[in-house]
Structure 1
Amino acid sequence: MSEFSNLTQKPPEEREAEDYVGLFTSFLKNFKDRNGDFKYKERIKEMISREGKSVIVDYEDLISYDAHSIELIENNPVESLEAFGNAVKEIVSEIDLEYARKVPKFFVRFNGWSKTLSIRKISSEHINKLVMVEGIIVKATPVRNKLYKAKYVHVLPTGEEHEFEWPPFEEELREELEKPPYCPICINTLTEDELIRRRFRGVIKLKPDKSKFRDWQLVVVQERPEEIPAGQIPRSVEVVLTEDIVDIARPGDRVAVIGIVRLQKSGREDKTVFTPYIEANNVIVAQRVLEELKLSPEDEELILELSKDPLIRRKIIASIAPTIYGLWDVKEAIALALFGGVTKTSPDGTRMRGDIHILLVGDPGTAKSQLLQYAARIAPRGIYTSGKGSSAAGLTATVVKDKQTGEYFLEAGAMVLADGGVVAIDEIDKMREEDRVAIHEAMEQGTVSIAKAGIVARLNARASVIAAGNPKRGRYIATESPAENINLPVTILSRFDLLYIVRDVPELGKDTSLTSFVLKTHEKAGYVEPDIKPDLLRKYIAYARKHVKPVLTEEAERIIKEYYIELRKRSSEREDAPLAITARQLEALVRLAEAHARMKLKPKVEAEDAVEAVRLMNAVLEQVGLDVETGNIDIDTLMAGKPKSIRDKEVAIIKTIKEVTQAGEECIKFKELKKRAEEIGIDEETLDKILRNLRRSGEIYERRTGCYALS
């Protein structure tokens, strides 16, 4: 029978502190890893060398050393953790006595635990038990200094002073700071009669400068989106971090928290209802999505086997929203966004994003919302939100004040919570202008900066944005530019790598095929068997994002370079030629090619990947980057909101107004302006449009009805 099992059989009241310390000291000293090394002796030495005070103990090691230890620690966490810390101190004393004296307290932090408890299942049976919960940090206070051992001075009427610590012995202050009811020194030195006479005499004062404080932080951990039952709101639990685990994670991080379930009063003091919170022993940050999915060796074998299929690309694309007919290029773009390019950081710290952003704009009933919902569902880390119901704070981050405690929390929004994954924003055109501005930084830099209520922070928001919106007038008007059709500023439009116009145009052949597909889907109760099941596809994507970092080959570089140079060359052939492509699209081509290589788990970006990236980009430029007047590709249609042909005409009209007003006229009448415009090839309809745009931008104004002047 083991030492641990002997101890677990004793009633708690018969267990001595020395029993615990001896057992845990034995484990730390004697445990050997597979190589025969004394694992925890080495970890303690490493802790001393970095001047730390915590040792990480792996759950698997504890259970392999003695399974009874888990039950002991789980049911008596306070005594066990205290004893584990004392055991560490004993071993440190043997190695470096001076360091052991310097550090008042050592800690053992557990890495993993027996089983994960759902946040919504925390109940009264878990009070004062050690548990592990998983979730997302949605709020965090700044780090505070918490008083745990107060130094008081008792000033007697005679002027004599007694200094003492409170609480006495090994106890620590809990939540409330209460003045000591007596002076321990007086009790020890006075007779009973003197104590009764002088009990309430003198003044007891707190001395903060001589009291003991520790770092303290409160965070709120919420259930992960994929774990929330349908139709229910997410549950959360407050977690208290102390000592060297404060600031270990930020809002938006996915974490596993190991700690003791405690109780705190809910609201008024006289209420009998208490709220559970967790006193953290350790916080493990899930750095990678793969860690959250917990891929088994069998999963990895299946993924690698799947990647060898010559039709893997087609199967992945066909598995994106299989109940939606057609839209092959759109589905491929969404697949590429799910896999993503490779994020790079230059030596000077500049980040080159690997996240691919996609925008779908189209007529009602073209399945845009369904595509977004499916993308968020299939992503290893995905969040779906509607632009109409999203504020700037809800998308990025904000600072909120807790009504009960008065504490300020940093609260993460959708883009921060989707860090490392995908955020799907439906009806992005319905968002308020001030809310849309908030996602600029997140889309390009992959961060969210905030400075409010004394909290200055920068949170990671490295998420691909897949957004959808409707045209301004209900349906897309082919004779107008995308910027004129879409109620989005060009600063947002230009940040999307690919923009697709999804139109509902009557076409007999297409409509016949669509009808057959929809009716067959209804015959099968709405279910279409995908080539790759959603759960496996999610794991495949997660594996690719972690393990595959494809590098451009010379052949792929040549194809991308030739395409880019060719389009730029067209722009330089004539002085008045529009700009066909910019460096922003060049970077997008690289990301698309990398994502295409990732789909096949390839270590290199080959020619076929570059060719497909060029095909997708060219198709988008010919659809949305086309100047409807000249028929030429003009990237300013997207980047600046208007093609060069329109800008040139605006400049000509401004020049005409300027010439007339400089000649002494107050303004130029519309009739005269129309005559001069026709001389340079601008018809009346185009002139009306230009005047509206110039008035809207504040460059001209109507001095009186039908008479225009420069602002």
Structure 2
Amino acid sequence: MQSLQLLFTDFLRTFKDSKGNFKYRDRIREMIIKERKSLLIDYEDLINYDPQLIDVIEENPDIALQAFSESIKELVRQENPDYAQKVYKFYPRLNGWIKTTPIRGIRSDHINKLVLIEGIIVRATPPRQKLFKAVYLHTLPSGEQHEFEWPPNPNEELGDELEKPTYCPICITSLEEEGVSKGRLARGSFKLLIEKSKYRDWQLIVVQERPEEVPAGQIPRSVEVVLTDDIVDVARPGDRVSVVGIVRLSKGSKRSTKPVFSVFIEANNLIVAQRFLEELKLSPEDEEKIRELSKDPLIRRKIIASIAPTIYGMWDIKEAVALLLFGGVPKIAPDGTKIRGDIHVLLLGDPGTAKSQILQYTARIAPRGIYTTGKGSSAAGLTATVIKDKQTGEYFLEAGAMVLADGGIVCIDEIDKMRDEDRVAIHEAMEQGTVSIAKAGIVARLNARASVLAAGNPKHGRYIPNLGLTGNINLPVTILSRFDLIFILKDIAQIERDRSLVRYVLETHETLANVEPEIPPDLLRKYIAYARKYVKPRITKEAQRLIEEYYIELRKKSAENPEAPLAITTRQLEALIRLAEAHARMKLKNKVEAEDAAEAIRLMNSMLEMVGLDIETGDIDIDTIMTGKPKSMREKEITILNIIKEAVASDESSRACIKLSRLRGEAEKLGIDEHTLERIIRNLKKMGDIYERRPGCFAPVD
């Protein structure tokens, strides 16, 4: 170990960077100034200095890291003796390690060896303080007292359990010449001096395989990681991390006699990937290829054509998915208010319209994508929950799909099949990009800045236009109103279109191996990551004017006639801006131009004409989406409610109510048909405005 320490000391003292500066001398001075305990050691520097050092560190990490720590302390002592005396231990944090070990690839050969793992934090305990050097007071039968540290060896620390001293090291030092046995030196009492003992921060996290790395049909595997000192609490559930550490055996419970052990990793360093974009390694060649691709005048068409290429047509839907993948630019107002850049898209359609295929392809093509289903997702599974560890009794914060997909895409199939109590959980995540949790003494807010691509089936089997959007899907308006774009996929018989579809499907099956997207999936994934990382387009005056004119034009009718419905609100205005920014990003442009705004307006208009129409009046009424019913239906409900109230008020009987037959007559005079009246009565009962006093007779709720 002594020779190894000399080697590390020489490395730290003499290594120079490309500019001729003493890299680690400078880092040590900076560490002292900032009063840190850790020194970042780069993998490439060790390779350049002596490649054999890498093998030594990986094969004998305990000895190597201890020698490295002593070398750092020696150099700190030369620079600042007081600071070296103050800090018990300095840490060489290994950075830039390249030999990755898959979590499911950890075997017995790796025990007590150094490994690098990558994954997502799914659980984390609150930071704790771990006792590593105990100070005891030894009181002899004679009344004589001694204070000492345990374990007595300066390089030893307490393990997972608090060990009672087996002897007094001060007594054995003073009496060993007299031949006194250690057993006799254990006489008297040993009292732990809690205030004088030494502690360091400690945290346990669970790192799980990244979703895109899990083999088909397999369950994601995870491993516990112990963090200490200054790498505690630097990451939270949902963060993607790289961990360099030593594989250790877990002792398990005391009562267990089985010779089977689990493993955990004692972390040396933990690096957080701040954004999912940093996980995609973009080489200079990749960046050059991406920039060349962006200059193609047909780049927009090629990107859209590369979304689920085996699915025929659906151009607008594929474009919406492409815009969702690129996303808008998130902003933070001066007062701290966050404006999301994530785009949410809902596909509602008849069976067999390829909704699930689009979702699955999107989850695969996204730099970070998670696919889940409504029936198989709970509130905790989508957002976050607190669970209790059976062995330690610790409470863990476990991240759900929305948190794990932070910075990426969550694809939720059959969202209409979710239970109401589970569906409510994604409200905050969709609008604010966060998940708040307060359970078991843990109060936290986790990032969930993910775009949502959801699909649902009409509750009557097929989409019925006369029922409108809310009458066709089992989703509350609070969720519907958060989607920037909503598309209806109807399976309508059209001979020419069906002929083209059949030919396309048959050709696809015949030449399946030759069905290649315009842009290869790997390149498209890198293109999206590059755009989201480097391209932050700002909206131009021309684009602003176009969006402003569109917004004012749609609201003009409501301004001129207070009785007219609202066609658009500020929520759709913000969606327009996000769509325009995403369109500009698609071409790697730093400006949102008029053509980008025009395309965003076209998609928005297409959606409003598809799902925002009042069936009765033919006017665009955004309340169809925002409140679940158009203005015309609300007015009819108010009219019927007033008729019921007036009829009951004019009757002095204590059990007064209006019969359904009379209500039908009154409704007929107003032009309200029987089917609509039944819907109105059903809605009024659901809202608690009326009740059925006796069968077929209604009264208002007081």
Which category describes the TM-score, using the shorter chain as reference length? over 0.9
User: Which runs of structure 2 are paired with 1:341-490 in the superposition (5 Å)?
Assistant: 341-490=328-477
After superposition, what is the alpha-carbon deviation per residue over 1:476-535, rounded to whole angstroms, capped at 9, x for unaligned?
111111011110010000000000111111111111111111111111137521101111
Residues 112 and 132, structure 1, Cα contact 8 Å, conserved in 2: no
Which amino acid in the other structure matches residue 428 of structure 2?
Answer: E
Deviation of 1:98 after TM superposition, in Å, equals 2.2
Are 2:275 and 1:275 aligned?
no
Residues 306 and 519, structure 2, Cα contact 8 Å, conserved in 1: yes
Residues 172 and 182, structure 2, Cα contact 8 Å, conserved in 1: no
Residues 247 and 265, structure 2, Cα contact 8 Å, conserved in 1: yes
Are 2:695 and 1:709 aligned?
no
Q: What secondary structure does 2:206 align onto?
A: strand
Residues 186 and 195, structure 1, Cα contact 8 Å, conserved in 2: no
Larger displacement relative to structure 2 (549-558 or 566-575): 566-575
The 1:196–1:420 alpha-carbon spacing in structure 2 relative to 1, beyond 3 Å, is closer
After superposition, what is the alpha-carbon deviation per residue over 1:189-235, rounded to whole angstroms, capped at 9, x for unaligned?
34667657845532223222221111000111111111111111112
Q: What secondary structure does 1:230 align onto?
A: coil
After superposition, what is the alpha-carbon deviation per residue over 1:550-585, rounded to whole angstroms, capped at 9, x for unaligned?
110111111111101111112212121001000000
The 1:42–1:190 alpha-carbon spacing in structure 2 relative to 1, beyond 3 Å, is closer
Residues 323 and 526, structure 1, Cα contact 8 Å, conserved in 2: no
Match of 2:109 in 1: 125
TM-score by length of 2: 0.96
Match of 2:80 in 1: 96
After superposition, what is the alpha-carbon deviation per residue over 1:356-392, rounded to whole angstroms, capped at 9, x for unaligned?
0000011111100000000000000000001100111
Residues 544 and 601, structure 1, Cα contact 8 Å, conserved in 2: yes
After superposition, what is the alpha-carbon deviation per residue over 1:567-614, rounded to whole angstroms, capped at 9, x for unaligned?
111221212100100000000000000000111111111111000000
The 1:527–1:476 alpha-carbon spacing in structure 2 relative to 1, beyond 3 Å, is farther
Looking at structure 2, the residues matched to 685 and 526 of structure 1 have their Cα atoms a distance apart, in angstroms, of: 53
Q: What secondary structure does 1:647 align onto?
A: helix
Match of residue 325, structure 2, among 330, 338, 341: 338
Give me the identity figure in percent: 70
Are 2:510 and 1:523 aligned?
yes
Aligned length: 695
Residues 343 and 452, structure 2, Cα contact 8 Å, conserved in 1: yes
Q: What secondary structure does 1:218 align onto?
A: strand
Looking at structure 1, the residues matched to 181 and 75 of structure 2 have their Cα atoms a distance apart, in angstroms, of: 44
The 1:197–1:355 alpha-carbon spacing in structure 2 relative to 1, beyond 3 Å, is closer
Match of 1:212 in 2: 198
Match of 2:227 in 1: 241
Are 2:91 and 1:107 aligned?
yes
Larger displacement relative to structure 2 (151-160 or 455-464): 151-160
The 1:679–1:370 alpha-carbon spacing in structure 2 relative to 1, beyond 3 Å, is same
Match of residue 645, structure 1, among 621, 624, 632: 632
Looking at structure 2, the residues matched to 112 and 663 of structure 1 have their Cα atoms a distance apart, in angstroms, of: 83
Residues 243 and 269, structure 2, Cα contact 8 Å, conserved in 1: yes
Are 2:679 and 1:689 aligned?
yes
Match of 2:9 in 1: 25
Which amino acid in the other structure matches residue 635 of structure 2?
Answer: D
Deviation of 1:243 after TM superposition, in Å, equals 0.2
Match of 2:623 in 1: 636
Could you tell me which runs of 5 or more consecutive residues in structure 1 were left unpaired when the two chains were aligned. Answer: 1-15
Looking at structure 1, the residues matched to 368 and 700 of structure 2 have their Cα atoms a distance apart, in angstroms, of: 52
Residues 395 and 414, structure 1, Cα contact 8 Å, conserved in 2: yes
Looking at structure 2, the residues matched to 654 and 194 of structure 1 have their Cα atoms a distance apart, in angstroms, of: 99
Q: What secondary structure does 1:233 align onto?
A: coil
Are 2:665 and 1:675 aligned?
yes
Deviation of 1:675 after TM superposition, in Å, equals 2.6
Residues 340 and 595, structure 1, Cα contact 8 Å, conserved in 2: yes
Looking at structure 1, the residues matched to 693 and 139 of structure 2 have their Cα atoms a distance apart, in angstroms, of: 83
Q: What secondary structure does 1:256 align onto?
A: strand
Residues 25 and 87, structure 1, Cα contact 8 Å, conserved in 2: yes
Are 2:158 and 1:173 aligned?
yes
Q: What secondary structure does 1:623 align onto?
A: helix
The 1:197–1:509 alpha-carbon spacing in structure 2 relative to 1, beyond 3 Å, is closer
Looking at structure 1, the residues matched to 493 and 626 of structure 2 have their Cα atoms a distance apart, in angstroms, of: 31
Could you tell me which runs of 5 or more consecutive residues in structure 2 were left unpaired when the two chains were aligned. Answer: none
Match of 1:5 in 2: none
Deviation of 1:473 after TM superposition, in Å, equals 0.9
Looking at structure 2, the residues matched to 72 and 195 of structure 1 have their Cα atoms a distance apart, in angstroms, of: 40
Which amino acid in the other structure matches residue 212 of structure 2?
Answer: E
Which amino acid in the other structure matches residue 414 of structure 2?
Answer: E
Looking at structure 2, the residues matched to 511 and 639 of structure 1 have their Cα atoms a distance apart, in angstroms, of: 35
Which amino acid in the other structure matches residue 379 of structure 1?
Answer: A
Deviation of 1:346 after TM superposition, in Å, equals 1.4
Deviation of 1:163 after TM superposition, in Å, equals 2.2
Which amino acid in the other structure matches residue 177 of structure 1?
Answer: L
Residues 147 and 173, structure 1, Cα contact 8 Å, conserved in 2: yes
Looking at structure 2, the residues matched to 357 and 45 of structure 1 have their Cα atoms a distance apart, in angstroms, of: 49
TM-score by length of 1: 0.95
User: Which runs of structure 2 are paired with 1:458-607 in the superposition (5 Å)?
Assistant: 458-525=445-512, 528-607=515-594
